[in-house]
Structures are given as C-alpha cells and as structure tokens.
Structure 1
Amino acid sequence: MDLRRLQVFAKVYEKRSFSRAAEEVYLSQPTVSGHIKSLEEELGVQLFDRLGREILPTKAAELLYVHARDILLRVEDAQHSVDAFLGRLRGDLVVGGSTIPGQYVLPGFIGRFRMLHPEVRITLHIGDTRQVVDSVLAGTLEAGVVGAVVEEERLAYSPLMEDELALAGWPGHPFGDSLDTAELKRAPLVFREPGSGTRMFLSKALRKAGVDPVDMNIVAQMGSTMAVLNAVRAQVGLGFLSRRAMVEDLEAGKVVEVGLPGIKLKRQFYLVTRKKRTHSPASQAFMSLCMTGLEEG
C-alpha cells in the first residue's frame, strides 16, 4: 500500500473535499482523485460516495482512516527522530492560531522564524479557539496559540503573553463615555460566537464582575473579530474587541472606547500542544521562539 496514497486518502477523509485536500497536499485535484481511485481498486472497495459536490466516507473509509492515521503518525515520528539526530530543520510545519493571535501576533513570528530557518515551509490555520484545540487533539496541528483554555486532560497549555479586551462604540454613540454594570446590561452588544476564545474569556470576566451574559442585550453574534469591528462601525451595537484589533480604528477616530469601571478584561494567550506528542525539530524550534520571543515582541 503506497504511503503517498494513504496521505492523500487521510486528507480527503478529513476535509470531505477533493479540492480542499488537493490544496493541503500540494497536488492537483485530478491527481488526488486518481490516488483515491487507485487505492479503491487496490482494496477492492469504494471509499467515498460522490454525491454531486459532496463526498461522504463509506464504512470502509472509516475503518481505513483509523489505521492510516496511526501509520502516518508513526512515519512522521520516524522522520522527526532522524531530523533531530542530524540537527536539521526542514520540511513542512503546520500551526494554528485563534483569531487575534492568528491575525495579529503569529505572522510576525513566522516571519522571524523563516529568516532563521528558510528551508521550513509554514502553514498557519486560523479558526476560533475550539477549532484550534480540536485540530491539535486530532494531530493536524502540531501547536496552536489560543485566547482561552479549553479543559482537556490530553492538552498542555503554556502562558505566552497578555492581551486586553475593550468595549468599542462608534463616534457619537448615545451610551456615554463609560458604563456601570446596570447600563452595560441594557446597552445593545455585539459578541463573538460561542467557541471563540474571546467569548469564553469575556463570559468568565463578566460573571466575576457580577454580570451574567444571559441577562445582557446581545443583539448580534459574529464569526470573526473583523465582523464585530465592522458591526460597531455600522452602529449595530457596542462590541468587545482585543485592543490589538481596534488600535488603528481608535487612532483614526472610526471607533471610540467605552470605559467599564470595575471590570477587568486582561487575559493570556496560550501555546497549546498535545501531551506526549513527539514534535518535529521545526515545531520545537518554533515553539521555543514563541516562548522566548513573544514577550519581547
């Protein structure tokens, strides 16, 4: 059984798409389809049902995937061990970041890392905290940087740096320069979606201040930080944002900060990894750069 075919199969299984799998493995879509067809012929079984643009794995594919992931992880570990012995950094490194660290922190450190290790090709996946954590657990990401801790005994978290949220409004909004807890409950608010690190942290911080999010006037939920910022500009409501995401708009006068006396909104970004996983030399070097360099940055 050809190892490359197994790699392609595993990616198609995970992505549920030939085109998205092709992007991940740097092959054309016809080549990916050819690998799957050859594997099906070799095994004498259909692995995917093609339902128009949608593909669904068959029971045979589910059984094969369990073994394929085990084989691929063992091969990856073997490659990592040899590279570590030889002291070389090369190949592909896949890391993830939740929205704020993924957009505003990690690109700079990827640039610094590439200057030190030009033979390593890095892919950065950005999602909400839950998506990043799930990908670390599944082994599709070697490491991630997230804005909240999702309790899971198989994961390890290391604090990296501080971030702070603030409440943003549009210029001339009618809610005042600052809000007490009673006023905050009445004001129209735009939140991130459940699953985001910002939402997880914010809910905890508000409850500590005696404000239950259930009692708040949440008029909209957005799937990204930029969507929250644009909603504030469009006067949908006041929005909680990382200062990193709103600094340019504050300076340009496109949004204003609304004070929240007595509510502490400082949080940590964390490096998240899976316990007991053997990391590639490139992954180890990148994590070391993050641990020593993020505070300096």
Structure 2
Amino acid sequence: MNLNHLKAFEKLIQVKSFQEAARQLSVSQPAITLRIQALEEHFKTKLVKRTGEGVQLTSQGEVIYKRVKEILKLWEDLEVQFLGGEPVGKLVIGASTIPSEYILPKIIKNFKSTYPDVDFSMRISGSKDVVDWLKNRLVDIAITGEPMTTPLLYSRPIVSEKLSIIAPLEFIEEDIKQFRDLFDVEWILREKNSDTRSSLEKTIGTLGFSTELMKIVGELGSTEAVIAAVEAGLGITVVSSYAAERAAQSGRVKIINLKDFQVTRNFYFSCLEENKNLPVISAFLGFIEDSYKDHN
C-alpha cells in the first residue's frame, strides 16, 4: 500500500475536508479523493462519510484509521532513527565490568537528560563475550578493552586509565621499591579472560617476568570480589584506578605506587561498521567523547 494513501487518509480525518487536506498536502482535491477511494477498494469497505460537520469516519473507518496512525508513527520513527534528526529508540549496550560500573552510569544519565526519547538496557560480561554479542547483533554498541580487529566493527578509543596495585591497610610497603619485590607476596587476581588480567600479564612481560613467578592464591570473577579479598587480607592485586581510588577513599585498601609499574590502557567504543552513522549510535559516541575530551 502506498504511504501517500495512508497520509491522505490521516490528513483528511484531521481537517475533515477534502479541499483542506489537498491544500495541506500540496496536491489536488481529486488526488485526495482517488487516494481515499483506493483505500476503500483495498479494504472493501466505506471509510468516510460526508456530514454537515465535515468528513467523518464510518465505524469500519474508525478501526482502520487507528491502525493507519500507528503505521505512520512507526514509519516516522524509522525515518528519524535511520535518516537523521533527534536520537530516539532503544540502545542496547554491552560493556565489560569497569565501564559498566565506573564510566557508563553517569554518561547514560546525562545522555538521557539531553535525549529523553532514548531508552537503554545494558548487558555485562568480559570483553570477549561483549564483542561476540555485538557481532551477533545482540547489543548495539560495546564498551570494552581493546577489541579484536575485524572489518565488521568500527572501534575507537574513548578514555584511558591506569591500573593500580592495591594492598590491605596493614600491608608494610617500606621494603617495596620495585615490582619484582612483590613476587614474595600473595596475590589475588582477576580471571584469565579479563581485561585487567591481560593488561597485567602484558606489563609483567615487558618487565621480563611472567605471572608464573607470582604467588597467586586466588582468581576471582569481578573487580569488587578482588577488592573485598584484598580488604580481608588475603593478598594484593592490580585493579582499575577507578576502582582502586574509590576503595582507598573509603578506607578499605591502600594503593602501592611503584615507578617501574606504570600501566595505561584504553577503553573502546565499538559498533558494527554498517551502523556507525545511525543517529542514536553516533550521538552516543559523540556524547562520550565530549565527556572525556579532557580526561585522556
């Protein structure tokens, strides 16, 4: 069915006049008449009737008119979503742990204040899982550590952060001068597929060591679980500086600063290459970049 037929029907009922509908749609009055007739022939029923108060709907026309308005609204939303205008619709975000807890909540709140017609949902897992979700179209965007390079994805770094070594409050650090001095200390680490663990392993490798030299007494599945283990005195660990600073400010742990352990990593925004220009996705990326332009 031609959308112009539906638009003519909607406008006719709004203004209750063939002449006025034609004027507002910039077509001739016979053109409006033909479009209404085409709809009536299609549905095999009378849609409108002329009365002293202007054009009115028949009982069958009332049913069809309600659906026509819904169809035209859906079409309008699709055009806005894919062809420009204010971002609208739902954005499904996949995120690894640190972005989901420390970066995205404030960004989403501020974005919603600017674009209230966008709704959000978030799925959280390790970076590999999140990128797989994106490739399988289960999420619209991904905020993770460095993603794999593939022509399917459009990725760009959005914010950088440091990793921090944290220890129990009673930990004695006077004899700790460099990272190698920590190999005699018990460690609690994130699981092996986490961004934090990967960044730690890469850094240790550049120092000429490996995690095999570390006394690893536990591997846990979340940043908060690792911090809680350190707070309980089970060992030391490396976590996001966002998480370390919050835990230190709360008096739960302390941060150990070493000159030879300076780890900076990026978090990335990723979406499917074919979707990078969709208004809601490009607007969200721009919003993140504006929020962190002075952070990096």
Query: Is TM more than 0.5 here?
Result: yes
Distance (Å, rounded) in 2 between the aligned partners of 1:144 and 1:256: 31
Instruction: Render the CA deviation track for 1:220-257: whole Å, top value 9, x for unaligned.
Output: 11111101100100111101111211223312332111
What TM-score do you get using the length of structure 1 for normalisation?
A: 0.68
Give the residue type in structure 1 aligned to 2:226. V
Distance (Å, rounded) in 2 between the aligned partners of 1:86 and 1:151: 28
Structure 2 unaligned segments of length 5 or more: list them: 1-75
Give the one of 140, 152, 161 matched to 2:159: 161
| Residue in structure 1 matched with residue 109 of structure 2 by the alignment | 111
Give the residue type in structure 2 aligned to 1:141. V
| Residue in structure 2 matched with residue 195 of structure 1 by the alignment | 193
Structure 1 unaligned segments of length 5 or more: list them: 1-77
Instruction: Render the CA deviation track for 1:77-107: whole Å, top value 9, x for unaligned.
Output: x975553336242221101221111101111
| Residue in structure 1 matched with residue 248 of structure 2 by the alignment | 250
Instruction: Render the CA deviation track for 1:18-38: whole Å, top value 9, x for unaligned.
Output: xxxxxxxxxxxxxxxxxxxxx
2:148 aligns to what SS in structure 1? coil
Distance (Å, rounded) in 1 between the aligned partners of 2:78 and 2:215: 51
| Residue in structure 1 matched with residue 62 of structure 2 by the alignment | none
Distance (Å, rounded) in 2 between the aligned partners of 1:220 and 1:151: 32
Distance (Å, rounded) in 2 between the aligned partners of 1:86 and 1:269: 27
1:276 aligns to what SS in structure 2? helix
1:141 aligns to what SS in structure 2? coil
| Residue in structure 2 matched with residue 128 of structure 1 by the alignment | 126
| Residue in structure 1 matched with residue 170 of structure 2 by the alignment | 172
Indicate conservation of the 8 Å contact 1:80/1:280, yes or no: no
Matches for 1:78-157 after TM superposition, within 5 Å: 83-85=81-83, 87-157=85-155
Q: Judging changes above 3 Å, is the alpha-carbon distance between structure 1 residues 260 and 296 closer, same or farther for their aligned structure 2 residues?
A: closer
Indicate conservation of the 8 Å contact 1:80/1:279, yes or no: no
Indicate conservation of the 8 Å contact 2:86/2:115, yes or no: no
Distance (Å, rounded) in 2 between the aligned partners of 1:80 and 1:177: 64
Q: Bigger radius of gyration, 1 or 2? A: 2
Indicate conservation of the 8 Å contact 1:155/1:274, yes or no: yes
Matches for 1:206-225 after TM superposition, within 5 Å: 206-225=204-223
Indicate conservation of the 8 Å contact 2:275/2:281, yes or no: no
Give the residue type in structure 2 aligned to 1:134. D
Indicate conservation of the 8 Å contact 1:161/1:294, yes or no: yes
Identical columns (%) = 26
Q: Judging changes above 3 Å, is the alpha-carbon distance between structure 1 residues 84 and 254 closer, same or farther for their aligned structure 2 residues?
A: same
1:186 aligns to what SS in structure 2? coil
| Residue in structure 1 matched with residue 63 of structure 2 by the alignment | none
Indicate conservation of the 8 Å contact 1:188/1:237, yes or no: yes
What TM-score do you get using the length of structure 2 for normalisation?
A: 0.68
Indicate conservation of the 8 Å contact 2:77/2:88, yes or no: no
CA RMSD of aligned residues (A): 2.4
| Residue in structure 2 matched with residue 259 of structure 1 by the alignment | 257
Using the TM superposition, give the Cα deviation of residue 279 of structure 1 relative to its aligned residue in structure 2, in angstroms: 5.4
Q: How many residues align?
A: 221
Q: Judging changes above 3 Å, is the alpha-carbon distance between structure 1 residues 228 and 126 closer, same or farther for their aligned structure 2 residues?
A: same
Using the TM superposition, give the Cα deviation of residue 218 of structure 1 relative to its aligned residue in structure 2, in angstroms: 1.5
Using the TM superposition, give the Cα deviation of residue 291 of structure 1 relative to its aligned residue in structure 2, in angstroms: 2.1
Indicate conservation of the 8 Å contact 2:80/2:87, yes or no: no
Distance (Å, rounded) in 1 between the aligned partners of 2:239 and 2:111: 28
Q: Judging changes above 3 Å, is the alpha-carbon distance between structure 1 residues 293 and 174 closer, same or farther for their aligned structure 2 residues?
A: closer
Give the residue type in structure 1 aligned to 2:147. V
Distance (Å, rounded) in 1 between the aligned partners of 2:233 and 2:180: 21
| Residue in structure 2 matched with residue 231 of structure 1 by the alignment | 229
2:274 aligns to what SS in structure 1? coil
